[in-house]
Structure 1
Amino acid sequence: MSGTVSDYLLYRLNQWGVRRLYGYPGDGINGILGALGRNSEFQFIQARHEEMAAFMACAHAKFTGEPGVCLATSGPGAIHLLNGLYDAKLDHQPVVAIVGQQKSMGLGGHYQQEVDLPVLFKDVASEYTVMVSHPSAIRHAVDRALRIARAERTVTCIIIPNDVQESPYQRPPQVHGSIHSSVGYSEPRVVPKEQDLRRAAQVLNEGKKVAMLVGAGALNAADEIIEVADLLGAGVAKALLGKAVLPDELPFVTGSIGLLGTKPSWDMMMGCDTLLMVGTSFPYSEFLPPEGLARGVQIDLDGRMLAIRYPMEVPLTGDSQETLRALIPLLKRKEDRSWRDSIEKNVRQWWKVAEGQAMKEANPINPQRVVWELSPKLPDGVILAADSGSAANWFARDLKIRKGMMASLSGNLATMGCGVPYAIGAKFAYPERPVIALVGDGAMQMNGNAELVTVAKYWKEWKDPRFIILVLNNRDLNMVTWEQRVLAGDPKFPASQDLPDFPYARYAESIGLRGIRVDKPEQIARAWDEALSANRPVVLEAYVDPDVPPLPPHITLEQAKHFAEALFKGDEKAAGVVSQSIKAMVEQLKPHKS
């Protein structure tokens, strides 16, 4: 084709199926922006900040399975991408970053905005970072960046100097030293060897009390997980990134695991004699069976992630769905269902506990109740995004996922500020589906308020206008406050933790969106109905109590000691914290008929 290197860049991206770029302009990518202006097949989404563009590209990858692509100018624009790109890397998502650079003839001359970009991206895009130094090189740069991003499920980076962007594209000549690449990638069928599958089946068949833990790598294997759990009489816990793997209405699904997890998940892990992990790198070993008390089998497509969380007897490298399909014929149905029955009883009791905790009085609103009352109102096919912070607690515990829904958050990086851009990326990928984000006021002030401007700019292009951001306004960086109390034994440090109050709902109204504010529990149900039936995006601001504790499923003596120390040291919220903590713990101890 004729045209510039930038024109060819878009042409090649188009051949790979890329139709949308998230980014922010700057003179370091003028050549690419000019090509975008000439190309009607691409949609350029202007974020408010390059970090947000990277989050949106990550969300695109998480919710579609296809590579997300983000674009940034040289120098500061490239630097801004990093946090969002690390989010993608740590959660194993295919994202391609395209960044500008100063003219190649000036590199090394300490020119304005000159940053050593190959070094900058060397870690986050460790599998492939390339600077295009010749017009012919753009072809294989794009082909390799997309192919490696998909094959390795990781971040790759293409750096293009300003003068190269505007140079005429040259087809690689048929000479020594040239590279002639092509478009296309097909995923392999990765299944362990037969003898390893038989070893795994033997371990699982010999187990009397099997527990399963599934994560994002099992999102395509729901039917197989259900069948395996039925054969083994197992319960299934879900890592946060695997929340949408199975519907929560299934009686053997124990819900989330870890500090944000449920008591049935904790009890199952502490009581099992065999652990089967599928598609998860869940990092917190203290929530897995004590070493030596359970035998282990793990399935993961990335062999590097096997047997590093728990000492596995049989680590299996393979695709979750394909490996489970190969394993199922080798499994024997367990006739003794007492273990399964006990798990299901615990799950039924847990949902009663969760409801009781959500309905406890608070000042002015219990944040759990806001999320609990949303759960039965979730539209079919909804896409859910959660930010890091206490909002993630209620996302993990109080939302019941149904079949066909999708949900995600920043898993391994656990970065603040991703909730709103995740939701925007999901909405552009699926404009016909409702999208809801659960965000704390800290994350909203950090990034979300600015990205509401992006929502206001684009929402009329979406087929379904249902786009809701729940803001839990507690005027506190609540997760860290509780971590200070329980993990460090320190009282709340107001100088670092107190947040300024902000009129989130009124701000949304001021930029043409719908704003709804609730500060009484009896307003919650009606507010959700109004938000879900609105003809435009909505910010639902809930004025909630920061003293409601995000209780872990099991409180250790050390945690209890630290908590008491924090209060005795003069925590300014001691009275409210003690009151709410007692309410929550009493609810856990109450007998609940199942």
Structure 2
Amino acid sequence: MSDTVGDFIVARLHAWGVRRMFGYSGDGINGVFGALNRAGGKIDFIQARHEEMAAFMASAYAKFSGELGVCIATSGPGASHLVTGLYDARLDHQPVLAIVGQQARSAIGGHYQQELDLLSLFKDVAGDFVHQAATPTQVRHLVDRAVRIALANKTVTALILPNDLQEMPYQEPPREHGTVHSGVGYRAPKTVPHQSDLEAAADILNAGERVAILVGAGALGATDEVIAVSDRLQAGVAKALLGKAVLPDDLPWVTGSIGLLGTEPSWELMRECDTLLMIGSGFPYSEFLPPDGQAKAVQIDLKADMLSLRYPMDVNLVGDAADTLKALLPLLKQKEGDWRHRIEKSTAKWWDLLEERAMAEANPVNPQRVAWELSPLLPDHAIVTSDSGSCANWYARDIKMRRGMMTSLSGGLASMGAAVPYAIAAKYAHPDRPVIGLVGDGAMQMNNMAELITVAKYWRTWANSCFVICVFNNEDLNQVTWEQRVMAGDPKFEASQNIPNVPYHKFAELIGLKGIYVDDPERLSDAWKEALTCGCPTVLEVKTDPEVPPLPPHFTFKQMKAMTSALMKGDPSEAGIIKGTARQILSSILPGRIS
């Protein structure tokens, strides 16, 4: 029997270096799954519980491995379920290929069962390359282009395969007019700006007296170069969430995260600088950058469409972060002065304040303390993932990165439900590393509980069994609750915000994992130690106080007014809010209502 189109696709992906796929089967993609089975393990298939989770896994796998992420699903709902996770990859500039089934070619256009217009569905999320195969001879160049474009453009591509085509005998394209004869292989270029552009950037950076640097995910491979440039310029460095692992937090001039989930030193750094260097970051919140015109600015990014987008830059450099910084360093003059000393003093004071806030009394457990207690216990080379929601605040501020650690979350999309599939993908990218995921109870109920079953299915194949999911159980969609109060000035809407109390640790035990429950803050440290050393995947459930506010680094008058308005309208948790906020040093906002 001749190899089928499905067999060719599996072999071609293997030739491209693909060794792992995440997905879920179905009759619309059976031809490829049959080929995967016949390939005898050449490509490892990881079965998620839901296609959306498979796409998140592919996105996270690309982030943590630096390789192409691949997800696969059947036609109709299988394909449509992938879209959210694919947007996560697209918005965070990750190379991901989605392979999906489609109904038979003769049925397309006939309002057939599970027939969707998949070209239109994927046209935005996979806009750089999405095509539906029609003949066996076409498949070769479709696979090659889908992979090469995903890798080169750091984006999502999609390949749509009618189910009857997958089973047909594969044919190479004939040597005749109207055919395409593609090949395998992609080598990323070295991208460095012209010398004159580097000199223009150096002139700006050399002239500045108070230099601030902002790093993002594009600087993850440039730790040493960022340190060298920072030392030369005597700059302080703030980190966008996706760039949290660029620099270790034991460097005294690293001010931590920036933005709504950021730190006060990062806020001060941006408000007081006269020069800004942004490296590999698409940080979206311009209000946390210097006011327009305050600072001369230079940006480095591989993607030209991200340049001068958040702040009006004076010099825009298209280039790889590490290579560009290496070329820039010899042009920079060694700075002196007290600017960095001021940054270090402010940052040290901030860490002391965070500890005070983490140890403040709460009912029953302060959620900030959960992350604070974890931070010094993190194993070397650990990978940390976080979900969106209030747990991301504590992840952003209280988890101290050390050299060699990795971390990520859903950045541009900021989707709920990514922490557990991200953690699973991290294990496949680095099976020997400890992995810890932080997730709120809302995201856990939405879709992450089911992926614990995936953990139970596969964990014995991992080289290192240290895998901990920490659930912040506060029975509240907490981040949105606080946004209602602080941004909209509305009291908590209980119908939309309250969620059921679920024994997550007991669910873990039911499926063969370890469960630990903590409702006493004095037990947190020991619980973390137990979870990190017990020898099997663990769900650590902590009963946290929903009224501990995720404070922004700087409270505006508008936010204070909105918060007061929410209380005046009769928030159902008014007493808890006042106590929790007062304990987090904001009693000055509502002096007449603090008891």
Q: TM-score range by the shorter chain?
A: over 0.9
For the 8 Å contact 2:372–2:398, the answer to whether it is kept is yes
Residues 404-460 of structure 1 show CA distances to partners (whole Å, capped at 9, x for unaligned) of 000000001000000000001111111111100000000000011110111111111
- Counterpart CA distance in 1 for 2:568 and 2:369 is 29
Structure 2 counterpart of 1:402, which letter? R
Which residue in the other structure is 1:541 paired with? 541
Which residue in the other structure is 1:362 paired with? 362
For the 8 Å contact 1:353–1:588, the answer to whether it is kept is no
Which residue in the other structure is 2:305 paired with? 304
Which residue in the other structure is 1:555 paired with? 555
Q: Spell out the pairing of 1:391-410 with structure 2 (5 A cutoff).
A: 391-410=391-410
For the 8 Å contact 1:388–1:416, the answer to whether it is kept is yes
Which residue in the other structure is 2:475 paired with? 475
- Counterpart CA distance in 2 for 1:199 and 1:429 is 40
- Counterpart CA distance in 2 for 1:33 and 1:303 is 39
Residues 8-30 of structure 1 show CA distances to partners (whole Å, capped at 9, x for unaligned) of 00000000110111001111011
Shift of 1:307: 0.3
Q: Spell out the pairing of 1:209-288 with structure 2 (5 A cutoff).
A: 209-288=210-289
Q: Spell out the pairing of 1:11-30 with structure 2 (5 A cutoff).
A: 11-30=11-30
- Counterpart CA distance in 2 for 1:90 and 1:461 is 32
Shift of 1:489: 0.2
Residues 257-300 of structure 1 show CA distances to partners (whole Å, capped at 9, x for unaligned) of 00100000000100000000000010101100011111110000
- Counterpart CA distance in 1 for 2:141 and 2:284 is 37
Shift of 1:582: 1.3
- Counterpart CA distance in 2 for 1:474 and 1:2 is 58
Residues 567-589 of structure 1 show CA distances to partners (whole Å, capped at 9, x for unaligned) of 11000111111111111126999
Residue 379 of structure 1 aligns to a residue whose secondary structure is: coil
Residues 110-139 of structure 1 show CA distances to partners (whole Å, capped at 9, x for unaligned) of 111111111110000000001111111111
Which residue in the other structure is 2:195 paired with? 194
Which residue in the other structure is 2:509 paired with? 509
For the 8 Å contact 2:69–2:96, the answer to whether it is kept is yes
Does residue 1:353 correspond to 2:353, yes or no?
yes
- Counterpart CA distance in 2 for 1:368 and 1:299 is 34
> Which deviates more, 232-241 or 580-589?
580-589
Which residue in the other structure is 1:327 paired with? 328
Which residue in the other structure is 1:182 paired with? 183
> Which deviates more, 429-438 or 234-243?
429-438
Structure 2 counterpart of 1:401, which letter? M
Which residue in the other structure is 2:384 paired with? 384
Residue 136 of structure 1 aligns to a residue whose secondary structure is: helix
- Counterpart CA distance in 2 for 1:2 and 1:301 is 44
For the 8 Å contact 1:129–1:157, the answer to whether it is kept is yes
- Counterpart CA distance in 1 for 2:169 and 2:292 is 62
Does residue 1:113 correspond to 2:114, yes or no?
yes
Structure 1 counterpart of 2:581, which letter? S
Residue 144 of structure 2 aligns to a residue whose secondary structure is: helix
Q: TM-score, normalised by structure 1?
A: 0.98
Residue 300 of structure 2 aligns to a residue whose secondary structure is: strand
Which residue in the other structure is 1:316 paired with? 317
Residue 517 of structure 1 aligns to a residue whose secondary structure is: strand
Does residue 1:458 correspond to 2:463, yes or no?
no
For the 8 Å contact 1:24–1:46, the answer to whether it is kept is yes
Residue 487 of structure 2 aligns to a residue whose secondary structure is: helix
Structure 2 counterpart of 1:94, which letter? P
Structure 2 counterpart of 1:149, which letter? A
Structure 2 counterpart of 1:564, which letter? T
For the 8 Å contact 1:356–1:587, the answer to whether it is kept is no
Residues 70-118 of structure 1 show CA distances to partners (whole Å, capped at 9, x for unaligned) of 0000000000000000000000000000000000111111111111111
- Counterpart CA distance in 1 for 2:223 and 2:62 is 20
Q: Spell out the pairing of 1:332-343 with structure 2 (5 A cutoff).
A: 332-336=333-337, 338-343=338-343
- Counterpart CA distance in 2 for 1:455 and 1:53 is 13
Which residue in the other structure is 2:525 paired with? 525
- Counterpart CA distance in 2 for 1:188 and 1:428 is 27
Does residue 1:489 correspond to 2:485, yes or no?
no
- Counterpart CA distance in 2 for 1:305 and 1:354 is 33
Residue 428 of structure 2 aligns to a residue whose secondary structure is: helix
Which residue in the other structure is 2:146 paired with? 145
Shift of 1:483: 0.2
For the 8 Å contact 1:97–1:158, the answer to whether it is kept is yes
For the 8 Å contact 2:581–2:587, the answer to whether it is kept is no
Structure 2 counterpart of 1:237, which letter? A
How many percent of aligned residue pairs carry the same amino acid? 63
- Counterpart CA distance in 1 for 2:267 and 2:72 is 43
Residue 106 of structure 2 aligns to a residue whose secondary structure is: helix
- Counterpart CA distance in 2 for 1:159 and 1:312 is 41
Residue 437 of structure 1 aligns to a residue whose secondary structure is: strand
Structure 1 counterpart of 2:532, which letter? L
Which residue in the other structure is 1:290 paired with? 291
Structure 2 counterpart of 1:255, which letter? G
For the 8 Å contact 1:257–1:265, the answer to whether it is kept is yes
Structure 1 counterpart of 2:68, which letter? P
Residues 380-426 of structure 1 show CA distances to partners (whole Å, capped at 9, x for unaligned) of 11111100000100000000000000000000100000000000111
- Counterpart CA distance in 2 for 1:256 and 1:142 is 39
The change in CA–CA distance for 1:143 and 1:588 in structure 2 (over 3 A counts) is farther
Which residue in the other structure is 1:103 paired with? 104
Residue 113 of structure 1 aligns to a residue whose secondary structure is: coil
Shift of 1:335: 2.1
Residues 485-531 of structure 1 show CA distances to partners (whole Å, capped at 9, x for unaligned) of 00000000000000100000001000000000000011101101100
Count of residue correspondences? 588
Which residue in the other structure is 1:76 paired with? 77
- Counterpart CA distance in 2 for 1:587 and 1:543 is 25
Which residue in the other structure is 2:92 paired with? 91
Does residue 1:172 correspond to 2:176, yes or no?
no
- Counterpart CA distance in 2 for 1:403 and 1:524 is 25
CA RMSD of aligned residues (A): 1.1
For the 8 Å contact 1:388–1:414, the answer to whether it is kept is yes
- Counterpart CA distance in 1 for 2:448 and 2:116 is 28
**Tell me, which stretches of 5 or more residues in structure 1 are unaligned?**
590-594
Shift of 1:36: 1.2
For the 8 Å contact 2:269–2:343, the answer to whether it is kept is yes
Residue 384 of structure 2 aligns to a residue whose secondary structure is: strand
The change in CA–CA distance for 1:588 and 1:314 in structure 2 (over 3 A counts) is farther
Residues 452-484 of structure 1 show CA distances to partners (whole Å, capped at 9, x for unaligned) of 111111111111110000000000000000000
Provide runs of 4+ in structure 1 moved above 4 Å: 586-589
Residues 154-182 of structure 1 show CA distances to partners (whole Å, capped at 9, x for unaligned) of 00000000011000000111110111111
Residue 365 of structure 2 aligns to a residue whose secondary structure is: coil
For the 8 Å contact 1:357–1:587, the answer to whether it is kept is no
- Counterpart CA distance in 1 for 2:77 and 2:322 is 42
Residue 456 of structure 2 aligns to a residue whose secondary structure is: helix
Does residue 1:207 correspond to 2:208, yes or no?
yes
For the 8 Å contact 1:353–1:587, the answer to whether it is kept is no
Which residue in the other structure is 2:578 paired with? 578
Residues 167-221 of structure 1 show CA distances to partners (whole Å, capped at 9, x for unaligned) of 0000111110111111110111111111111110000000000000000000011
Which residue in the other structure is 1:435 paired with? 435
Structure 1 counterpart of 2:555, which letter? I
Residue 105 of structure 1 aligns to a residue whose secondary structure is: coil
